[in-house]
């Protein structure tokens, strides 16, 4: 009779491993239990069963927080892709026979990504797979990373300044930094020679300080020992462009947000600011569903075709730079995570 409990726990191996992997990923048994809709004691028992079976300690307990032991790290690397693959077994099996006619696709992204990068890939995907439900989660980069770690989304699309160890990032498109001004602004007449010293005296319109664009602008001006001042903080590229058109200030953006239809002068700032990429952000070890893989393929093809088309277009007149809607090129505002607001 002594072997019955052990047999019972082996029959529930998948549940045990799922609970273990979720706790390892989130660094908390209580948070893992909440995400799995289980009680904390239930998750603790499942992890303890694995520890008894393997005769080892999988976590170091530090109050409410937990950390993987070396043995726990080894088991996590083995188990995580297996659990993820089994959870997606039905979708993967259907895809083997070309059946991508149902299911759900969850994508985390920031406002700028949703507005400027995803529309065409989403249109093409919905056209090819009309019965797959798409959920877009409009989040900041930090929240996007949290959703990835909780497996609440398949992947994120955005830009990363730094890539965490448990996250993978594959760039797809690149955008370039631009100074945008009203058409009648004095700097609009200096399309090829704008310096930071020229920008400094004019009031800048920037996103809020906690977002990456503001931090990047501040870093570049400080590194070059140039003073500047912010006239207005506003969220969202569309809002910023509108206020620049109204003459309330000038701004530094990436041409991801420029469609070519704005009444603005757009001047290159590549000598000071780096180009920035947007791409696919996912959790390391995550087994992507066939729907997710198909969407990523469509997105890569759509942007590759856009860049090829841009290569044969004549350059824009001085002071009027095409945005990605006209140029196809993309340079991204890096964010701290998978979404990306300006």
Q: Are residues 143 and 17 in the same domain?
A: no
| Residue range of the domain that includes 27 | 4-79
pLDDT of 307 reads: 65
Last residue within a domain, chosen from 50, 79, 108: 79
Q: Are residues 70 and 94 in the same domain?
A: no
Average pLDDT estimate for 233-246: 93
Predicted confidence (pLDDT) at residue 142 exceeds the cutoff of 90: no
Q: Are residues 56 and 117 in the same domain?
A: no
pLDDT band for position 308 (cuts 50, 70, 90): low
Q: Are residues 320 and 266 in the same domain?
A: yes
The pLDDT tens digits for 41-88 are 999 999 999 999 899 999 998 777 888 999 998 998 888 888 888 887
User: Which DSSP helix (H) or strand (E) runs through 104?
Assistant: strand 104-109
Structural domain count of the chain: 2
Q: Are residues 247 and 133 in the same domain?
A: yes
CATH number at residue 63: 1.10.10.10
Predicted confidence (pLDDT) at residue 225 exceeds the cutoff of 90: yes
User: Which DSSP helix (H) or strand (E) runs through 267?
Assistant: strand 264-268
Q: Are residues 68 and 96 in the same domain?
A: no
In the numeric block, which tokens belong to residue 95?
Answer: 């895809």
pLDDT band for position 158 (cuts 50, 70, 90): very high
Q: Are residues 331 and 225 in the same domain?
A: yes
In the numeric block, which tokens belong to residue 189?
Answer: 């007449």
pLDDT of 82 reads: 86
CATH number at residue 280: 3.40.190.290
Last residue within a domain, chosen from 59, 79, 99: 79
Task: Express as a percent the part of the chain with pLDDT over 70.
Answer: 82
pLDDT of 311 reads: 53
In the numeric block, which tokens belong to residue 212?
Answer: 């990456």
Q: Are residues 146 and 31 in the same domain?
A: no
Q: Are residues 32 and 52 in the same domain?
A: yes
Q: Are residues 221 and 306 in the same domain?
A: yes
pLDDT of 100 reads: 63
Beta carbons of 248 and 234 less than 8 angstroms apart:
no
Predicted confidence (pLDDT) at residue 97 exceeds the cutoff of 90: no
Task: Give CA separation, 14 vs 85, 154, 212, in Å.
Answer: 11, 20, 40
pLDDT of 10 reads: 54
Q: Are residues 135 and 13 in the same domain?
A: no
Predicted confidence (pLDDT) at residue 204 exceeds the cutoff of 90: yes
pLDDT of 65 reads: 81
265 phi/psi in degrees, rounded to 5: -95, 135
pLDDT of 135 reads: 95
Predicted confidence (pLDDT) at residue 339 exceeds the cutoff of 50: no
Q: Are residues 244 and 304 in the same domain?
A: yes
Last residue within a domain, chosen from 20, 55, 79: 79
pLDDT of 316 reads: 52
């Amino acid at each position: 009779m002594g072997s019955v409990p052990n047999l019972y726990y082996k029959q529930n191996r998948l549940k045990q491993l799922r609970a273990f992997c979720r706790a390892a990923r989130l660094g908390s048994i209580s948070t893992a239990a909440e995400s799995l809709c289980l009680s904390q004691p239930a998750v603790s028992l499942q992890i303890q069963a694995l520890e008894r079976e393997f005769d080892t300690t999988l976590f170091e307990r530090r109050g409410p927080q937990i950390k993987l032991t070396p043995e726990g790290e080894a088991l996590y690397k083995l188990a995580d892709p297996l659990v993820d693959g089994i959870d997606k077994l039905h979708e993967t099996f259907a895809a083997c026979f070309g059946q991508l006619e149902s299911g759900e696709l969850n994508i985390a992204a920031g406002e700028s990504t949703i507005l400027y990068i995803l529309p065409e890939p989403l249109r093409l995907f919905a056209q090819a797979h009309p019965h797959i439900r798409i959920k877009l989660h409009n989040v900041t980069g930090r929240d996007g990373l949290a959703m990835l770690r909780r497996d609440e989304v398949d992947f994120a699309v955005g830009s990363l300044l730094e890539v965490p160890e448990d996250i993978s990032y594959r760039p797809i498109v690149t955008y370039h930094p631009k100074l945008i001004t009203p058409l009648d602004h004095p700097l609009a007449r200096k399309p090829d020679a704008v310096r930071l010293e020229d920008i400094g005296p004019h009031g800048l319109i920037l996103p809020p300080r906690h977002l990456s664009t503001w931090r990047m602008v501040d870093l570049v001006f400080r590194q070059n020992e140039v003073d500047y001042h912010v006239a207005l903080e506003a969220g969202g590229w569309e809002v910023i462009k509108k206020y620049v058109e109204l003459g309330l200030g000038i701004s530094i953006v990436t041409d991801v947000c420029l469609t070519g239809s704005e009444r603005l002068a757009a001047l290159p700032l590549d000598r000071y600011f780096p180009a920035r990429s947007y791409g696919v952000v996912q959790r390391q070890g995550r087994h992507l569903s066939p729907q997710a893989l198909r969407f990523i393929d469509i997105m890569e093809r759509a942007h590759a075709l856009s860049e090829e088309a841009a290569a044969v277009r004549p350059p824009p007149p001085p002071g009027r730079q095409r945005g990605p809607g006209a140029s196809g090129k993309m340079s991204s505002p890096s964010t701290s995570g998978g979404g990306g607001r300006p």
